[in-house]
């Protein structure tokens, strides 16, 4: 993770304690740095790397940290760093592939309090928002939400509503998105280039933090959300003029084993035509949970071919966190 002294936003872009109606210093301190180490032979090592850095947000009085899940997936060790420089080991408590959110339990006192959370329908968003990474005001930015809409990720991921902010910045993995009252409304996920009318806007996508609320007790108790796992095919897909194109395959995944190839175009799922990337995912998931056979009709080099993909639970392929 970048050291706070190595870069800083211009002062005029930072939040000003004199202009906000919340405890700015305490709120900034609730965002911690996160560093995760992943074994070389982990399932996600080749796609997400073995050294992952980002941020997390303290949401519990016990120091419970909410972050974006890909930072901690299959983590062998996690270290949390506060603005005061305190470094504490953490345990990857839970990851939810549906929302993309993850929880880390600090194995020691962080010495900071939790941040208040808000639902989107109660949040103050029209007057601007703040994006906060570890490092205090120098790593906090006044921002605007330019879109609230569905987001479909190429890795079989779908949010009914995501938040898109500008100006863009590459350091927002796991960062806090705050409303005008300083309450948490989102967790940083990706740098994106999103259509906005006739223009393409560079920005960041945030996962609404309220998505953790209905599954929080399950995550704390079971280490996962208590719902049937979604069917996973192991495809990396994109919308093209020709349809949903298979851009890549998870090595050894269900789709590769079924004979799906990069460059294939998905024509239908179990006879139902595919309408966009989100429609493709919903068609697959509507067939049943993980383990359900998924019939696909594909176009390959001008010919039509059919395959049946034996879907699996992706989480079953991942290393489970352990307390040393």
- The per-residue DSSP string of 222-280 comes to HSS-SSPPBPB--EEEEEETTEEEEEEE-TT-HHHHHT--TT-EEEEETTEEP-HHHHH
- Residue reference for tokens 């495809």: 235
- CB neighbours of 318 closer than 8 A, spacing ≥ 6? 42, 43, 44, 73, 74
Residues 216, 286, single domain; the answer is no
Residues 181, 95, single domain; the answer is yes
For 274-298, the pLDDT digits (tens) are 999 999 999 999 999 999 999 999 9
pLDDT at 324 (0 to 100): 54
**Whether the predicted model's global pTM rises above the 0.85 cut:** yes
Question: How much is the average pLDDT of 35-48?
Answer: 95
For 144-162, the pLDDT digits (tens) are 999 999 999 999 999 999 9
Structural domain contains residue 324: no
Q: Are 168 and 294 in contact (CB under 8 A)?
A: no
Residues 28, 166, single domain; the answer is yes
Residues 11, 153, single domain; the answer is yes
Residue 312: CATH number of its domain? 2.30.42.10
In this predicted structure, the answer to whether residue 300 has a pLDDT above a threshold of 60 is: yes
Structural domain contains residue 130: yes
pLDDT at 35 (0 to 100): 98
Which among 227, 244, 264 is the end of a domain? 227
Structural domain contains residue 248: yes
Q: Are 59 and 65 in contact (CB under 8 A)?
A: yes
Domain of 118?
1-227
Residues 144, 19, single domain; the answer is yes
């Amino acid at each position: 993770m970048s050291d706070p002294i190595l870069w800083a936003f211009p002062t005029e872009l930072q939040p000003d304690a004199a202009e906000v109606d919340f405890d700015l210093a305490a709120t900034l301190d609730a965002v911690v740095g996160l560093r995760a180490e992943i074994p070389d032979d982990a399932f996600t090592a080749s796609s997400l790397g073995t050294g992952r850095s980002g941020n997390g947000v303290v949401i519990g009085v016990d120091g419970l940290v909410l972050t974006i899940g890909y930072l901690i997936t299959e983590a062998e060790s996690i270290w949390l760093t506060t603005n005061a420089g305190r470094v504490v080991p953490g345990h990857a408590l839970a990851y939810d592939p549906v929302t993309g959110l993850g929880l880390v339990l600090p194995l020691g006192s962080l010495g900071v309090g939790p941040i208040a959370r808000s639902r989107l329908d109660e949040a103050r968003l029209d007057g601007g928002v703040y994006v906060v990474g570890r490092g205090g005001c120098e790593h906090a930015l006044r921002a605007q939400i330019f879109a609230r809409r569905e987001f479909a990720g190429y890795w079989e991921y779908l949010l009914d509503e995501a938040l898109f902010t500008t100006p863009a910045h590459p350091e927002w993995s796991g960062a806090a998105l705050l409303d005008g009252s300083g309450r948490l409304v989102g967790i940083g996920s990706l740098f994106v280039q999103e259509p906005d009318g006739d223009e393409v806007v560079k920005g960041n996508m945030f996962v609404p933090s309220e998505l953790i609320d209905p599954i929080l007790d399950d995550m704390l108790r079971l280490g996962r959300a208590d719902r049937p796992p979604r069917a996973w095919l192991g495809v990396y897909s994109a919308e093209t003029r020709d349809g949903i194109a298979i851009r890549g395959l998870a090595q050894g995944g269900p789709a590769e084993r079924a004979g799906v190839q990069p460059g294939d175009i998905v024509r239908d799922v179990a006879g139902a035509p595919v309408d966009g990337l989100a429609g493709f995912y919903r068609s697959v998931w509507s067939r049943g949970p993980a383990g359900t056979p998924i019939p696909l009709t594909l176009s390959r080099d001008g010919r039509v071919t059919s395959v049946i993909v034996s879907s699996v639970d992706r989480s079953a392929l991942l290393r489970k966190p352990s307390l040393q």
